[in-house]
Chain A
Amino acid sequence: MPALMQNFRWIVAKRFKNSNVGYLLAACYLWVCVPCFGQTDDSLSIQEQCEQICQDTSAPWRSIPWQTDLLNAQKMAAESEKPIFVWAMDGHPLGCT
């Protein structure tokens, strides 16, 4: 809901800048939206706000048993007789971005 509220604010600001229509819409927005959305925001603890901004822990890539050390992977491959699959990125694929 906060994202929806912010989207609305941005759309109004961009679409109607330098226009009285913008002020009118902003006033309507404040009158209609802020009381209910504001309560929602206030009712969220900091921890709850943080929990809204997190990666999906059920995403399929997270179920893969990724190794993060190439030599450990090589050892496992030598012992299990499996090929190695390397996901090599700029920034760590499991972390950065």
Chain B
Amino acid sequence: MLDRESTFADKVIVELLKDKFVPVAIDQWFTRRQEDTEGDFWRKIASQSPRNDFSKTTQGLFIVDASGNLVAFNNNRGPDRIREQMLKTIANYKHPKDATPIVRTSVDPKYSVKLPADGIVVRVAAQVTGGYETTDDPWRKIFQKATSRDNLWITKEEIADLQTDKFPENLAHRIERFHLLDNTRGEPSVWTSAEIKSSKWSIKAGKITGNAILKSTDGKRGFEATTMGEIAFDDSGKVISLNLFTQGDYWGSGAYTLKPPVGKFPLAIAFSLADGSDIADPLAPHASRGWLDGYLKPKQ
């Protein structure tokens, strides 16, 4: 998020990435674990950087040649250093003559998560809408006004249930555990089943209502959430529109979402049917990492 608002808001960097580089964005949590061709290539790259312990994060900004030889690495906030590294790379770049496309000979199924057939993708965006302290810190301001993004996957069986005015338990549980979250300041901690203190969802003639209370065991993190929504189908049963709007009082933070507003604060979450036009529409839900069944069937 900080990178999106700082490094990748820099005009020079954006133009360089468009014209002079092949830009690629990855969730290295997957890639460093993948026992396949792509994972091998990533480990080759990361092993040349300070991020060479694959039991830990390998996150950062990397410039490599087409053979995977590291040219530059950066994990600092702000655009200055990476802009300089990029300009220097372009000035001195020598394309490796022996570089050929790597043939993908294996795909690790554990980390190759695919949307179930005839399922739908729903964009999920969250925003803290009040409660923050006033600040002059530009980095803190970025967090305070941030809107998060994730995807919710809904299966064809669940779509069929919704058409017959039945709100599927697994869908309710999935929304609650993995999407009723404050993920605006970083990677969120999902809720456990035991942390769902109350849950009531219903659908009638396309109108959806949901009420959920989520609370951590120690009571330090929680969300009292109310959801209103609408879903519409065409004659063939295809979902043609879906909007859910959740709001309520949230409190506390996860390990990587520190410094929330003090006490209870308002959190709003929007769920909207994806049409495939957004760059993030094809991405797997964050909570499905390495455990798609657990994501799709959290109730079982």
**Does chain B have a CB within 8 A of A71?**
yes
B23 touches A50 (CB 8 A): no
A84 touches B21 (CB 8 A): yes
Give per-residue flags for A49-86: 1 if the beta carbon is below 8 A from chain B beta carbons, else 0.
Answer: 11111111101111111111111111111111111111
In angstroms, Cα B63 to Cα A74, docked, is 12
**Does chain B have a CB within 8 A of A35?**
no
A94 touches B25 (CB 8 A): yes
Residues of B within 8 A of A68 (CB): 24-26, 282-283
A87 touches B3 (CB 8 A): yes
A71 touches B41 (CB 8 A): yes
**Does chain B have a CB within 8 A of A36?**
no
In angstroms, Cα B38 to Cα A75, docked, is 12
In angstroms, Cα B126 to Cα A52, docked, is 10
Residues of A within 8 A of B45 (CB): 86
Residues of B within 8 A of A55 (CB): 125, 147, 149
A78 touches B279 (CB 8 A): no
Binding site for B on A (CB under 8 A): 2-3, 6-7, 9-10, 14, 46-47, 49-57, 59-97
Residues of A within 8 A of B89 (CB): 83
Given contacts A71-B104, A75-B102, contact A90 B57 (CB under 8 A): yes
B23 touches A96 (CB 8 A): no
Which of B4, B28, B37, B261 is in CB contact (< 8 Å) with A71? Answer: B37
B10, B57, B188, B280: residue with the most chain A Cβ atoms closer than 10 Å:
B280
Please name the residue on chain A nearest to B183 by beta carbon: A97
Given contacts A6-B130, A74-B68, contact A64 B23 (CB under 8 A): yes
